[in-house]
Amino acid sequence: MTDFSQGDILKINGYKYKFVITSNNAFISATGVFHVCPLLENVEEGPLHIIVVGKKNTSGAVICEQLKLIDPTARACNRIDSLHYDDILNISDAIQGIFEYD
């Protein structure tokens, strides 16, 4: 298995769009799976749509409400870019906000 990390931008075989790994590295190491959110182009920024630009200029909006669990041994995943730390924090905060209580 290729080593994947939080903030990696992936292409997953069978999907036309890209994904961002949102699980933290401890979760990935412990389970061998990870959560992803789609990275879509031409989507307006919003509370759960975080606009990002990767280190290699891959850009789009991370759709935080569309969280999915991926097993990379069952799907062909290829890392194409990675996010800056500030973007990882913003995405994590948005996802955590979905599950907070009132």
* Residue 90 φ then ψ, to 5°: -65, -40
Q: For 8-99, CATH number?
A: 2.30.30.110
Which residues fall within 8 angstroms of residue 92, CB to CB, at 6 or more apart? Answer: 22, 24
For residue 36 the two structure tokens come to 């992803």
53-59 mean pLDDT:
98
89 pLDDT more than 80? yes
pLDDT in tens, 42-51: 999 999 999 9
- Angle, CA of 93, 95 and 98, to the nearest 5°: 110
pLDDT at 8 over 70: yes
Strand segments, DSSP code E, in the chain are 8-12, 18-21, 34-40, 49-53, 59-63, 68-70, 77-82
**Residue 43 three-state SS:** coil
- Residue 70 is predicted with a pLDDT of 95
More confident of the two residues 67 and 102: 67
Beta bridge partners of 39: 18, 62
Q: What is the pLDDT of residues 18-36, one digit of tens each?
A: 999 999 999 999 999 999 9
